[in-house]
């Protein structure tokens, strides 16, 4: 009798009915996922209506998972219930992570569940109980429907192997789409939010399911050949803090700073040289100068920060990673931690938004004691839309004076932002008059504008260097100032201005000087008189075996500062970087420069050099993946 009643209540769907219900349920689950996010659902729906393909791209991962589970369970509502549980849990986690850390959920977070559990207590999490209640009610409704409505025997395969094969086929299609359609930057950029650099905003505006699938293939870490965790653990032992000289260290990474105008195509005289201060500092008695080979051409500021501060290389993390800061998700060894251990006040300052490149989280993981962004600064001064280099010079001076008053040495790392692209005629406001570029090259109007605007910013950057060296030269406190550019400027599509100047830059062609030229920016490591005396400058610099041409990879710059300030022996990782730098001062993708200045490719490395590079890669992987840093 009971069985008979159940049969009367149990409705069975045909094939087309099952497919129709599947589409509706996929849409409902997707809509719920979008509603869960902290932004307005109305604004997201408006974007989806304007870009109908986005509806498909958000629904497809949900629908294909429902399809796969329907084949396995032979019940579309059971499949939808499990799918909804998975996607709503992810969406809820994304909402909470956005609210506490302003960072979305990525696929790599699945490998950090232990860290997430241990770190959860450090955040003030406000659980959205109304949202959780709606999710539970939705799941209960689907579960109830699964008990009342099934599928006809002819609607779906009945044999277990065929059902399994169908389910696996559906999942295979989803995986294929993730590695092709969803991984396509061109498609993603088409739908990016108003600010593509603000990843949380993109997730909110474009849709969580689509963005989650898009980033599934990004920010990964490739396991190097021959990696052994136990071996890496052994490498990472040792080091004694407190061995270095107590000199203040100020590191300034200036936006797009380059010595572009030193190219023969320019005709500036000594009187109107845009880089007067750089050239004067390079010739001063207490200065190390040359070119640093950075990870990116015409962009990638945060990647240079990563390379300099950690000694690891963005370009070696994986075949797909383009943003090192997005691959960081745990505490790491860095210059901040070395100086922290030596009793320094450590400070990171950036005159932009805290979310930019996820810096607000990354610099906590890097160990900076103080972290300041534009919102933490008063009386900001702008030239166009960006905070001026001159303002940041004043800010550096203020923080230095505070540290001196507190009686503690200072380690300060400051990127600037004034000379950020785009170099359009209205960059500094309508009517701003730019000094015309002085060159013998025949330039188009577009190239002239790009160069006029960029070089104006380079003048201001050079003035910042001049102001800081003058200020610190008048101080009795020992100071080392490090000043360099994060990357060459972007000067038009297909290197427009570079080509018109006759400069041969080939950022895609490994193994050539023109390849390395694309990634070089100038650097100076300068000490005031007190700093030079404290460091025994001449003797110390002579012992460092720096390359004669002054060219080093960005990953060595931090280690060079530690060696100069007497911190060899404090950290085994940075000591190893110093060892590798003496043998291979430049490592850039598949291109290398040997200690004698010879340029070679990976195929020409000796066995000993291959071992050095392999250890570098394996050690980096261990630090990013496994090492626990308190």
Residues 533, 329: Cα–Cα separation, whole Å: 40
Concatenated DSSP letters for 55-93?
HHHHHHHHHHHHHHHHHHHS-HHHHHHHHHHHHHHHHHH
Q: What is the mean pLDDT of residues 46-65?
A: 91
pLDDT value of residue 41: 82
pLDDT value of residue 423: 95
Q: Per mean pLDDT, which range of 157-166, 167-176, 289-298 is the poorest?
A: 157-166
Axis-axis angle for helices 52-73, 15-36 (nearest 10): 120
* Predicted confidence (pLDDT) per residue in 357-393, tens digit: 889 999 999 999 999 999 999 999 999 999 999 999 9
pLDDT value of residue 124: 62
Can you tell me whether residue 204 is helix, strand or coil? Answer: helix
Other C-beta atoms closer than 10 Å to the C-beta of 502 total 13
- ∠533-241-545 over CA atoms, to 5°? 50
Task: Tell me the percentage of the chain whose pLDDT exceeds 90.
Answer: 74
- Is the pLDDT at 258 greater than 70? The verdict is yes
pLDDT value of residue 249: 98
pLDDT bin (cut points 50, 70, 90) of residue 442 is very high
Whole-number mean pLDDT of the chain? 91
* Predicted confidence (pLDDT) per residue in 521-551, tens digit: 999 999 999 999 999 999 999 999 999 999 9
pLDDT value of residue 98: 81
Task: Tell me the percentage of the chain whose pLDDT exceeds 70.
Answer: 94
Backbone φ and ψ for 365, nearest 5 degrees, come out as: -65, -30
Residues 32, 20: Cα–Cα separation, whole Å: 19
Domain regions of the chain by residue span:
2-217, 245-625
- ∠359-361-364 over CA atoms, to 5°? 100
CA torsion, points 305, 311, 314, 318, in degrees to nearest 10?
-150
Roughly how many angstroms between the first and final C-alpha of the chain, as a whole number?
66
- Is the pLDDT at 215 greater than 90? The verdict is no
- Is the pLDDT at 290 greater than 50? The verdict is yes
C-alpha to C-alpha distances, 123 to 112, 128, 348, nearest whole angstrom? 16, 15, 22
Concatenated DSSP letters for 98-141?
HHHHS----GGGGGGHHHHHHHGGGS-----HHHHHHHHHHHHH
Residues 27, 31: Cα–Cα separation, whole Å: 6
- Is the pLDDT at 116 greater than 50? The verdict is no
C-alpha to C-alpha distances, 183 to 106, 211, 350, nearest whole angstrom? 14, 10, 31
pTM for the structure as a whole: 0.84
pLDDT bin (cut points 50, 70, 90) of residue 433 is very high
Closest CA to 288 of 595, 471, 543: 543
pLDDT value of residue 597: 94
CA torsion, points 140, 141, 142, 147, in degrees to nearest 10?
90
More confidently predicted of 159 and 145 = 145
Other C-beta atoms closer than 10 Å to the C-beta of 131 total 18
pLDDT value of residue 560: 98
pLDDT bin (cut points 50, 70, 90) of residue 517 is very high
Q: What is the mean pLDDT of residues 243-256?
A: 96
Determine the CATH number of domain 245-625: 3.40.720.10
Residues 547, 530: Cα–Cα separation, whole Å: 26
Backbone φ and ψ for 421, nearest 5 degrees, come out as: -60, 165
Q: Per mean pLDDT, which range of 157-171, 490-504, 592-606 is the poorest?
A: 157-171
pLDDT value of residue 38: 84
Helices (H), 507-601: 513-517, 529-535, 537-543, 557-564, 572-583
- Is the pLDDT at 119 greater than 50? The verdict is no
Q: What is the mean pLDDT of residues 90-102?
A: 83
- CA atoms within a 13 Å half-sphere pointing along the CA-CB vector of 510: 13
Q: Dig out the tokens for 349 from the structure.
A: 């300052």
pLDDT value of residue 175: 95
- Is the pLDDT at 322 greater than 80? The verdict is no
pLDDT bin (cut points 50, 70, 90) of residue 282 is very high
- Is the pLDDT at 121 greater than 60? The verdict is no
Residues 289, 522: Cα–Cα separation, whole Å: 7
- Is the pLDDT at 120 greater than 80? The verdict is no
CB-based contacts of 610, cutoff 8 Å, min separation 6: none
- Is the pLDDT at 23 greater than 50? The verdict is yes
């Amino acid at each position: 009798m009971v069985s008979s009643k159940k049969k009367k209540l149990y409705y069975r769907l045909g094939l087309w009915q099952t497919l129709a219900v599947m589409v509706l349920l996929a849409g409902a689950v997707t809509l719920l996922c979008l509603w869960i996010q902290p932004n307005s659902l109305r604004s997201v729906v408006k974007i989806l209506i304007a870009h109908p393909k986005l509806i498909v791209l958000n629904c497809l991962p949900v629908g294909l998972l429902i399809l796969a589970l329907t084949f396995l369970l032979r019940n579309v509502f059971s499949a939808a219930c499990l799918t909804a549980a998975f996607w709503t849990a992810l969406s809820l986690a994304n909402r909470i992570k956005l609210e506490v850390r302003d960072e979305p959920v990525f696929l790599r977070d699945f490998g950090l569940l232990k860290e997430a559990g241990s770190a959860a207590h450090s955040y003030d999490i406000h659980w959205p109980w109304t949202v959780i209640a709606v999710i539970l009610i939705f799941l209960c409704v689907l579960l109830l429907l699964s008990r009342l409505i099934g599928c006809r025997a002819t609607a779906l395969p009945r044999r277990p192997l065929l059902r399994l094969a169908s389910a696996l086929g559906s999942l295979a299609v989803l995986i294929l789409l993730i590695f092709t359609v969803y991984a396509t930057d061109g498609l993603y950029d088409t739908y990016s939010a108003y600010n593509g650099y603000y990843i949380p905003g993109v997730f909110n505006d474009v849709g969580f399911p689509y963005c989650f699938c898009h980033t599934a293939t990004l920010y990964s870490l490739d396991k190097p050949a021959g990696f052994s965790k136990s071996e890496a653990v052994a490498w990472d032992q040792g080091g004694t803090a407190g061995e270095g000289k107590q000199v203040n260290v100020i590191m300034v990474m200036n936006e797009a700073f380059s010595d572009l105008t030193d190219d023969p195509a320019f005709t500036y005289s000594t009187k109107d040289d845009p880089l007067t201060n750089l050239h004067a500092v390079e010739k001063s008695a207490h200065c190390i100068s040359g070119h640093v080979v950075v990870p990116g051409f015409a962009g990638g500021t945060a990647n240079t920060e990563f390379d300099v501060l950690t000694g690891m290389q963005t370009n070696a993390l994986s075949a797909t990673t383009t943003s090192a800061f997005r691959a960081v998700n745990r505490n790491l060894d860095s210059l901040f931690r070395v100086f922290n251990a030596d009793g320094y006040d450590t400070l990171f300052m950036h005159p932009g938004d805290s979310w930019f490149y996820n810096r607000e989280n990354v610099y906590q993981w890097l160990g900076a004691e103080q972290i300041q962004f534009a919102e933490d600064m008063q009386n900001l001064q702008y030239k166009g839309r960006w905070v001026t280099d001159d303002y940041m010079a004043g800010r550096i001076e203020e923080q230095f004076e505070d540290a001196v008053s507190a009686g503690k040495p200072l380690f300060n790392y400051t990127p600037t932002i004034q000379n950020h692209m785009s170099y359009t005629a209205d960059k500094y406001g309508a009517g701003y008059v730019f000094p015309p570029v002085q060159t013998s090259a025949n330039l188009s109007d577009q190239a002239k504008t790009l160069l006029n605007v960029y070089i104006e910013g380079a003048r201001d950057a050079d003035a910042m260097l001049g102001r800081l060296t003058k200020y610190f030269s008048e101080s009795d406190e020992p100071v080392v100032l490090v000043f360099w550019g994060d990357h060459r400027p972007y000067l038009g599509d297909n290197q427009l201005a570079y080509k018109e100047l006759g400069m041969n830059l080939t950022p895609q062609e490994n193994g050539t000087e023109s390849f390395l030229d694309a990634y070089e920016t100038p650097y100076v490591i300068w000490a005031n008189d007190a700093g030079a005396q404290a460091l025994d400058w001449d003797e110390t610099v002579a012992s460092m075996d720096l390359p004669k041409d002054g060219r080093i990879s960005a990953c060595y710059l931090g280690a060079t500062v530690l060696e100069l300030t007497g911190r060899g022996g404090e950290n085994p990782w940075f000591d190893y970087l110093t060892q590798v730098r003496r043998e291979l001062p430049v490592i850039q993708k598949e291109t290398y420069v040997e200690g004698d200045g010879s340029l070679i490719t990976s195929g020409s490395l000796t066995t000993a050099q291959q071992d050095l590079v392999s250890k570098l890669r394996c050690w980096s992987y261990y630090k990013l993946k496994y090492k626990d840093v308190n």
